[in-house]
Structure 1
Amino acid sequence: MAFQTSKDTKYNQLVLSDITVIKELLTFRGSIDDTNFNQGACATNSLKMNTDVISLFADLDELIKKSLNEEQIKLLSYITKDYSNYTIAKILGIPVKTIGSRFNTICLKIKQENDRQWRKVTYINKLRLKTKICSKCREFLPATDEFFSLNNSSKDLFHSQCKKCKK
């Protein structure tokens, strides 16, 4: 069994499909995990964290990469480093009052990407639905109207790009 600290036990049953969990993990990340999500590093504090917590942060990092733009990642990096909203606003040149709503949007996008990835795996691995490769991102996705827009002129009735890429 992996070594477990008292701060780890708090995070054992957490899932990334809950916005409250995502907010807490991101807000208190600096005190839990000393890695920086946008550098793709493994947890350098791994001896102090169990594998479940490390895995949770690795999954969170992947969702961040897949769902956020550079501006959102920059804002998030300051939040995870425990900068005040005033300091973040000053650094980024944005109004202080927008920090909270932007953080909420970031957490929602992470949750939505987590849900999308969960549905993708379920549809492909459990339900064994047919797949289609997106011509832009090259990702294999379920050939459903949830992932691809309908296109009556196409042989398979779906556009070549997934909905996420067409945005």
Structure 2
Amino acid sequence: MMAFQTSKDTKYNQLVLSDTAVIKELLTFRGTVDDTNFTQGVCATNSLKMNTDVIALFADLDKLIEKSLNKEQTTLLSYIARDYSYYTIGKLLGIPVKTVGSRFNTICQKIKQENDRQWRKVTYIQKLQLKTKRCSKCHDILPATDEFFSVNNSSKDLFHSQCKKCKNK
């Protein structure tokens, strides 16, 4: 069965996950275009109402959310996707209303940073064919550069065994 583009998803044609404004819009209006809950790791059960590009965009967004956010941040996003007011979200999470907006902005920035990191990883490995190294903690295969690994002069390859993301957790 082929999914067709509807007027509901035409505005999502040229959207990319390297723009925090796009991420914010997708997360804010997710409930109107996608009836799934990204905390379950399932993408686009309402697929007959969206084209494959939009489904893929939300699937990519879900992966970035999983890789970059903690449980509290994911909970906040689920409330935003359900169109709860910042006041209601603040009450549910026990935080000031002003804090909800700033945390949402931080979440969008973290998703963008993870997207950029994943893009650089693919570019460095597949396009530039740089040497790789497996992180001893997350087991992700990453470019063996100082962008992904801290320098360790006592190591054979001059990098720590854990990637910077794992070391900073």
Q: TM-score, normalised by structure 1?
A: 0.98
How far apart, in 1, do the equivalents of 2:70 and 2:92 lie? 18
Q: How many residues align?
A: 167
SS in structure 1 at match of 2:8: helix
SS in structure 2 at match of 1:135: coil
| 2:132 paired residue number | 131
How far apart, in 2, do the equivalents of 1:11 and 1:21 lie? 9
How far apart, in 2, do the equivalents of 1:25 and 1:32 lie? 9
Shift of 1:7: 1.6
Structure 1 residues 16-47: Cα deviation after superposition (integer angstroms, max 9, x where no partner): 00000000000000001111111011311100
Shift of 1:2: 3.7
Are the equivalent residues in 1 in contact too, given 2:3–2:49 (CA < 8 A)? no
Amino acid of the residue matched to residue 16 of structure 1?
A: L
Identity %: 84
SS in structure 2 at match of 1:7: coil
| 1:84 paired residue number | 85
Amino acid of the residue matched to residue 47 of structure 2?
A: S
- Counterparts of residues 1-167 of structure 1 (less than 5 Å): 2-167=3-168
Structure 1 residues 87-119: Cα deviation after superposition (integer angstroms, max 9, x where no partner): 111111111110110000000000000000000
Q: Which runs of 5+ in 1 are unaligned?
A: none
Q: TM-score, normalised by structure 2?
A: 0.97
Q: Which runs of 5+ in 2 are unaligned?
A: none
Runs of 4+ in 1 over 6 A off after TM superposition: none
How far apart, in 1, do the equivalents of 2:45 and 2:11 lie? 20
Amino acid of the residue matched to residue 96 of structure 1?
A: V
